[in-house]
Amino acid sequence: MILIDSNIPMYIVGVAQSKKVDAQLLVEQAVARGDRLVTDAEALQEILHRYAAIERRDAIAAALKTLLGIVDEVFPIDRETVLRAAEIVQGAAFSARDAVHIAVMERHRVPRIMSYDRDFDRWPGITRIGST
């Protein structure tokens, strides 16, 4: 099982750039292997937040459609997940968003994340899929 981070669909739908093709290939390879792809509600929120912040609201629908089109399930963010994320943030130098992803991954036993965020490399038990 692989959790898909928000930056993957954002690169896929973005303008031509070096990571666009790489992101597409990562997803295609995972699908070809039969990996179960999942995400969490935080990844959806990140897409909304980022595109609103950079005044690219026109890209929100495409990014959400891309992410929701490749995942089998979207995990919710509940009380226990937030409390665990708070523990992670208080004990290590991770952003709140990354801590939520880590908490979701722990709770649902997701060992891998497809992301370009190298901070995930620092968390024991998580393997990041994606170039630097």
Instruction: Extract the tokens encoding 98.
Output: 């990354």
Structural domain count of the chain: 1
CATH number at residue 34: 3.40.50.1010
Mean of the pLDDT values across residues 96-106?
96
- pLDDT tens across 39-53, in order? 999 999 999 999 999
pTM of the model: 0.92
- The whole domain housing 125 covers 2-129
Amino acid at 116: Y
CB atoms < 10 A from the CB of 31, how many? 11
Q: Are 32 and 70 in contact (CB under 8 A)?
A: no
Instruction: Compute the average pLDDT of residues 63-72.
Output: 96
Cβ atoms of 107 and 84 within 8 Å: the answer is: yes
Backbone angles phi, psi at 121, to 5 degrees: -65, -20
Does the structure show a pLDDT above 70 at 16?
A: no
